[in-house]
Amino acid sequence: MDLYLPVANLSVNALVIVLLGGGVGFLSGMFGVGGGFLTTPLLMFYGIPPTVAAASAATQVTGASVSGAMAYLERDGVDLRMGTVLVVGGLIGSLIGAGLFELLTAWGQIDTVISILYVAMLGSVGTIMAREAWGALRLMKAGLPPPARKRRHHPMVANLPLRWRFYRSGLYISPLAPLLLGVGVGVLTMLLGVGGGFIMVPAMVYLLGMGTQVVVGTSLFQILFVTIATTMVHAMTTGAVDLVLAGLLLLGSVTGAQVGARFAQSVRPEYLRLLLAVIVLLVALRMAVDLFIRPDEIYTVQ
Amino acid sequence: MRAAAALLLWCAALLVPASASAADPRLVPDVSSRAIDIQYSFTGEELLLFGAILYPGQRLPDDRADIVVVLKGPVRPIILREKRRIAGIWINADSIRLRTSPGFYAIGSSRPIDQIVDERTAAIFELGLSNLSMSPTGFSEAKTLERFEGGLIDLYRRQGLFYQNPKAVEISEGVLYRARIPVPARVPVGNYRAETYLISKGRVIAVASRDVEIRKAGFERFVALAAERHGFLYGLTAVLLSVGLGYAASAVFRRR
State pLDDT tens for residues B127-176: 888 888 888 887 677 888 888 888 889 889 988 899 999 888 888 888 89
For B112, phi then psi, to 5°, come to: -55, 140
A254–B245 CB contact, under 8 Å: yes
Based on the fold, state whether residues B136 and B161 are members of the same structural domain. yes
Closest CA to A62 of A196, A169, A181: A196
B249–A10 CB contact, under 8 Å: no
Based on the fold, state whether residues B167 and B204 are members of the same structural domain. yes
Buried b (16+ CB within 10 A) or exposed e, B200-233: eeeebbbbbbbebebebeeebbebbebbeeebee
This model of the complex carries an ipTM of: 0.80
CB distance from B188 to chain A under 8 Å?
yes
First CA to last CA distance, chain B: 60
- In A, minimum Cα distance to B158 occurs at A297
Please give the pLDDT value at position B105.
92
Based on the fold, state whether residues B127 and B240 are members of the same structural domain. no
Q: Give chain A positions within 8 Å (CB) of B249.
A: 67, 254-255, 257-258
CB distance from A39 to chain B under 8 Å?
no
Based on the fold, state whether residues B108 and B13 are members of the same structural domain. yes
Q: Give chain A positions within 8 Å (CB) of B88.
A: 292
Say which of B43, B85, B246 has its CB closest to residue A11: B43
- In B, minimum Cα distance to A233 occurs at B235
Q: Are A192 and A36 in contact (CB under 8 A)?
A: yes
- In B, minimum Cα distance to A262 occurs at B253
Strand order from edge to edge, sheet including B75-86: A299-301, B75-86, B89-102, B136-137
In tens, the pLDDT along B171-225 reads 888 889 999 999 888 888 889 999 999 988 888 888 998 999 988 888 888 888 8
Which CA distances in Å does A265 have to A186, A212, A258, B104, B256? Answer: 29, 14, 12, 53, 16
CB distance from B22 to chain A under 8 Å?
no
Residues of chain A with pLDDT below 70 are 32-34, 144-161, 167-170
Based on the fold, state whether residues B199 and B249 are members of the same structural domain. no
Based on the fold, state whether residues B6 and B82 are members of the same structural domain. yes
CB distance from A60 to chain B under 8 Å?
yes
CATH number, domain containing residue B24: 2.60.40.1930
In tens, the pLDDT along B16-31 reads 544 445 567 888 888 8
Please give the pLDDT value at position B3.
52
A291–B42 CB contact, under 8 Å: no
Say which of B42, B154, B252 has its CB closest to residue A4: B42
Q: Measure A110 CA to nearest chain B CA, in Å.
A: 9
Binned at pLDDT 50, 70 and 90, residue B39 comes out as: confident
- In A, minimum Cα distance to B102 occurs at A301
Instruction: Name which of B82, B84, B230, B250 to mutate to probe chain A: the one with the most chain A Cβ atoms within 10 A of its Cβ.
Output: B250
Q: CA-to-CA distance for B200 and B64, rounded, in angstroms?
A: 7
Q: Directed axis angle between helix A243-264 and helix A14-31, to 10°?
A: 40
Q: Which residue has the higher pLDDT, B253 or B234?
A: B234
Nearest-Å Rg of the Cα atoms of chain A is: 19
A231–B238 CB contact, under 8 Å: yes
CB distance from B43 to chain A under 8 Å?
yes
Instruction: Count Cβ atoms below 10 Å from residue A57 Cβ, excluding itself.
Output: 36
B95–A258 CB contact, under 8 Å: no
Say which of B92, B224, B241 has its CB closest to residue A6: B224
Based on the fold, state whether residues B51 and B121 are members of the same structural domain. yes
CB distance from B93 to chain A under 8 Å?
no
Which CA distances in Å does B39 have to A4, A5, B66? Answer: 7, 9, 36
Q: How many domains does chain B have?
A: 2
Based on the fold, state whether residues B224 and B212 are members of the same structural domain. no
Please give the pLDDT value at position A149.
54
Based on the fold, state whether residues B251 and B192 are members of the same structural domain. no
Indicate if the pLDDT at residue B108 is higher than 60.
Answer: yes
Determine if residue B169 is left, alpha or beta; phi over 0 gives left, psi from -120 to 50 gives alpha, anything else beta: beta
Q: Measure B62 CA to nearest chain A CA, in Å.
A: 47
Based on the fold, state whether residues B36 and B105 are members of the same structural domain. yes
Q: Give chain B positions within 8 Å (CB) of A249.
A: none
In tens, the pLDDT along A195-238 reads 777 778 878 877 877 777 778 888 888 888 888 988 888 888 87
Say which of A6, A64, A228 has its CB closest to residue B220: A6
Helix (H, G, I), strand (E, B) or coil at B48: strand
For B204, the domain range is 2-216
Helix (H, G, I), strand (E, B) or coil at B128: coil
Based on the fold, state whether residues B194 and B115 are members of the same structural domain. yes
Q: Give chain A positions within 8 Å (CB) of B37.
A: none
Tell me the three-class secondary structure of chain A, residue by residue: CEEEECCCCEEEEHHHHHHHHHHHHHHHHHHCCCCHHHHHHHHHHHCCCHHHHHHHHHHHHHHHHHHHHHHHHHCCCCCHHHHHHHHHHHHHHHHHHHHHHHHHHHHCCHHHHHHHHHHHHHHHHHHHHHHHHHHHHHHHHCCCCCCCCCCCCCHHHHCCCCCEEECCCCEEECCHHHHHHHHHHHHHHHHHCCCCHHHHHHHHHHHHCCCHHHHHHHHHHHHHHHHHHHHHHHHHCCCCCCHHHHHHHHHHHHHHHHHHHHHHCCCCHHHHHHHHHHHHHHHHHHHHHHHHCCCCCCEEEC
CB distance from A180 to chain B under 8 Å?
no
Say which of B101, B151, B239 has its CB closest to residue A231: B239
Q: CA-to-CA distance for A220 and A152, rounded, in angstroms?
A: 23
Please give the pLDDT value at position A34.
67
